[in-house]
Structure 1
Amino acid sequence: MSVLPEDDAVELLTRGEMELEGRLVDASNTTLRAEITLDGLTRRCVYKPVRGERPLWDFPDGTLAGREVSAYLVSQSTGWGLVPPTILRDGPLGVGACQLWIDEPDDASSLIGFVPAYDVPEGWLAVASARDEEGDAYALAHADDPRLARLAVLDAVINNADRKGGHVLYAPDDRVFGVDHGVSFHVENKLRTVLWGWTGKALPAEAVETLSSLRAALDGSLGEALEEHLTISEVQHIRLRVKRLLRVAKFPDPPTDWPAVPWPPV
């Protein structure tokens, strides 16, 4: 099933009638799949009610849904369309984040994973070393793909603390989407990702241009929209991260005081 045009998807998510189908049991917070219908159009969505958020020691209670929406707003402003349409709305279990479901084709090939250390595919970038239960050497690696590079830039901007390989989805139209951004936008550096393959390399010219436009948007309507979901300090730190990326013009280095790769990575 093709991905809906963005405006149609937002309208459906905002005004559609939601009917719950079931819970995604692997998620740490209450995450539900639902059908949503408006004027004869039906699609699936992911619904994350605020009341189902598990308290975290480093993020304020009840803020994860707003961070999901904020990630979409930043993605939308870049023009890259990396986060599926996401809104905050009332649902069967109260207010929560509602995001368009992305149907991955059965033959979709992952661009991130563990590969034999001696056989990293051509065009892939090794990130970390690992061994299986028998002691065989593997590498956590990802493709040197411009779609993933865009996602790495977005993660640096929003300070995403949980970019697992399983949080990258592959749509039928060859688009790549990032999901699960509830632990983003912290004021402290918490960037944790499997997309470290470009560490220290120069940002692509298109990323520099996009970040320049994003900096202007953060001083205007985007900044105002984000302040509905984040604190003023958190929005200010987005501006600081964008300015830093533009000044250095390189992909960021892994943190030294925080685990650089989430667990499990994929």
Structure 2
Amino acid sequence: MSAPERIPPRSVTTADHLTRGDLTVRGQIRDASNAVLHCTVAHAGEDITCVYKPVRGERPLWDFPDGTLAQREVAAYEVSEATGWGLIPVTVLRDGPYGEGMCQQWIDGEPGAELLALVDAEEPGPGWKAIGFAEVDEGKTALLVHADDQRLRRLAVLDAVINNADRKGGHLLPGPDGRLYGIDHGVTFHAENKLRTLLWGWAGERLTEEATGVLTSLQDALSPTGALTARLTSLITPAELDATRARVDALLTSGRHPEPSGEWPAIPWPPV
């Protein structure tokens, strides 16, 4: 079994920079549902661009406790780091100009990287996986597909573990270094099944050998004395932590990617 791709050591220094540096707000990202501020962090003579989401800027949700989205974003990053896949930009919890919030390294997406498409066909072509049919015009539908990409498949496994309720196309960032990053993980870790994603192309298929190895490692890290348990304890509730363990166990027991439950909308809206 091939070892999972490990995270570059720079993530440690970036986390220290984001946590200890002087945070300056440069602007606001207007199309976000919660307060999302574009910032720089100055530390040790260097500036890093980042996103800062203060807790006080979170809109209340009917199914998630108020004021917990920032912690969930950090928890998702911690799980991503534990997988060794490095799928989420460096994310920390810190104080800022508008109080405590999530601070995340800014990633410049690579233009032209096609991960999603609408095709006028009944079946996906080579290199693509079907998500489902979408209405594109009055009385006309097209097949929504995503790339059959190993990076997306890893992200689909991560989303199943953290119970991501909002994996949209706009939350996928192909980086200039060839890596794929996922962002916006505030609605994760609910104790009930709320998986909503565009990455259903592998639903019901067997997990890769790599994914099984990573999930086995997560199982150990999530034990009562595990390192990941220690990091998540202050970020999510005991019930949510138990549910995370149960999801990892269920994935290993089935050996397959999850399928839509039918009890919850499977695809987020809007999907992109």
TM bin (shorter chain) = over 0.9
Query: Contact 1:50–1:64 (CA<8 Å) still a contact in 2?
Result: yes
Aligned residue for 1:5? Answer: 10
Identity level (%): 54
Aligned residue for 2:243? Answer: 237
State the AA in 1 paired with 2:218: L
State the AA in 2 paired with 1:67: R
Aligned residue for 1:50? Answer: 55
Query: Contact 1:84–1:100 (CA<8 Å) still a contact in 2?
Result: yes
Instruction: Report the TM-score, using the length of structure 1 for normalisation.
Output: 0.95
- SS of alignment partner, residue 40 of structure 2: strand
User: How many matched pairs?
Assistant: 263
> Cα offset for 1:119?
8.0
The 2-side partners of 1:66 and 1:96 are apart by: 8
Aligned residue for 1:69? Answer: 74
Note the alpha carbon deviations across 1:159-179, whole angstroms, 9 max, x for none: 000000110101011100011
Aligned residue for 2:264? Answer: 258
Aligned residue for 1:187? Answer: 191
> Cα offset for 1:120?
4.0
**In angstroms, what is the RMSD of aligned CA positions?**
1.4
> Cα offset for 1:11?
1.3
Q: 2:202 aligns with which of 169, 193, 198?
A: 198
> Cα offset for 1:17?
1.0
- SS of alignment partner, residue 69 of structure 1: helix
Note the alpha carbon deviations across 1:45-84, whole angstroms, 9 max, x for none: 0100000000001000000000000000000000000011
Query: Contact 1:113–1:165 (CA<8 Å) still a contact in 2?
Result: no
- SS of alignment partner, residue 84 of structure 1: coil
Instruction: Report the TM-score, using the length of structure 2 for normalisation.
Output: 0.93
2:85 is the counterpart of 1:80 = yes
Query: Contact 2:51–2:105 (CA<8 Å) still a contact in 1?
Result: yes
2:171 is the counterpart of 1:167 = yes
2:143 is the counterpart of 1:139 = yes
2:208 is the counterpart of 1:222 = no
Query: Contact 2:39–2:50 (CA<8 Å) still a contact in 1?
Result: yes
2:127 is the counterpart of 1:123 = yes
State the AA in 2 paired with 1:260: A
The 2-side partners of 1:185 and 1:152 are apart by: 15
State the AA in 2 paired with 1:49: P
Structure 2: gaps (5+ residues):
1-7
The 2-side partners of 1:136 and 1:57 are apart by: 34
Query: Contact 1:59–1:186 (CA<8 Å) still a contact in 2?
Result: yes
> Cα offset for 1:4?
8.9
The 1-side partners of 2:117 and 2:232 are apart by: 33
